Amino acid sequence: MTKQVKAGNVLIGGGAPVTVQSMLSVPSYDIEGSVRQALALEKAGCEIIRLAIPDKEAVALIPALKEKVTVPLVADIHFDYRLALEAAAAGIDKIRLNPGNIGDDSRVQAVAKVCREKQIPIRIGVNSGSVERTILEKYGGPTAEALVESALYHASLLEKFDFTDIVLSMKSSDLSTMIQAYRLAHERCGYPLHVGVTEAGTSRMGLIKSAIGIGSLLHDGIGDTIRVSLTADPVEEVAAGLDILRALGLRGGPRLVSCPTCGRTRIDLIGLAGKVEEALRPVKKDITVAVMGCVVNGPGEAKEADIGIAGGQGEGLLFRKGQPLRKVPEDKLLEALMEEIEAL
């Protein structure tokens, strides 16, 4: 089991539930827009929000967000250690920073001291483009071993000053490298791991890569907090992250199962399944909902579903745990299904 750290009111590692993160994409100088996006992320279920702090002016974003959202905030800082000190003073809950990039030991010590006093964990984030030249030369490129050695090097700089509230990430856009790096880190240290695929891509391919990379690691018990990085609205990242956790049984909430359709289907199953998926988003019940095209895939194959629909000729059969309830016209199926879910 990994070490446990605390960011605001959220526990990371040590057996705590895996949390879903995202990052603000609004320019940091746009405080109003950033607050609006943070509220949307919180509403979507985001449990930790990261924000870029590129300069001193951006620090003003921290108290503005603190007034409006309750989820922990992470300051993403590069190179200037003074920004870490100011972010800590402004009430940040966690800092993303690589100590090897901020200067000499005195600067690392200053950051470690403040974060220890204020109980602010630090995430060290290594990726294929940030590995030190000497390590790249040693391994011949940004291999999994190189990523892990770089992350542990940065951690050692904090450990030198008795700071161990550390979270590690070793991200790569190459799935094999990313998966191997996290496996190596899991073997070599006890720090909690922030898991993700960097530069994963647009909604479609980024989600596929993230589901494979993040999902395979979580399935094997590796990973304490996740981010699905997409070139898209960050709200989509949160939905994807929660879906990955639900698919693995690591998070409650509704699970939708639906068949791929075939020549037996006589209703608009594709359209109906999409509408059901959207209608289930605010539902908190831990249930399985089936949307099936015909009786073959309906109460038979989907008999374990808590509630479901089996399509017919312009109508559908509602069933619960494989037992028929009633037939409903196609245009009333969504409404009838949601009524049954409400009654569960």
6-33 pLDDT per residue, tens: 999 999 999 999 999 999 999 999 999 9
- pTM (2 decimals)? 0.92
pLDDT in tens, 208-259: 999 999 999 999 999 999 999 999 999 999 999 999 999 999 999 999 999 9
| Contact partners, residue 32, CB within 8 Å, separation at least 6 | none
Q: Which fold has domain 5-247?
A: TIM Barrel (3.20.20)
| Contact partners, residue 138, CB within 8 Å, separation at least 6 | 146, 149
Q: How many residues does the chain have?
A: 344
CATH code: domain 255-343 is 3.30.413.10
Domain ranges of the chain: 5-247, 255-343
Say how far apart CA 266 and CA 263 lie, in whole Å. 8
Q: Would you say the CATH fold of 255-343 matches that of 5-247? A: no
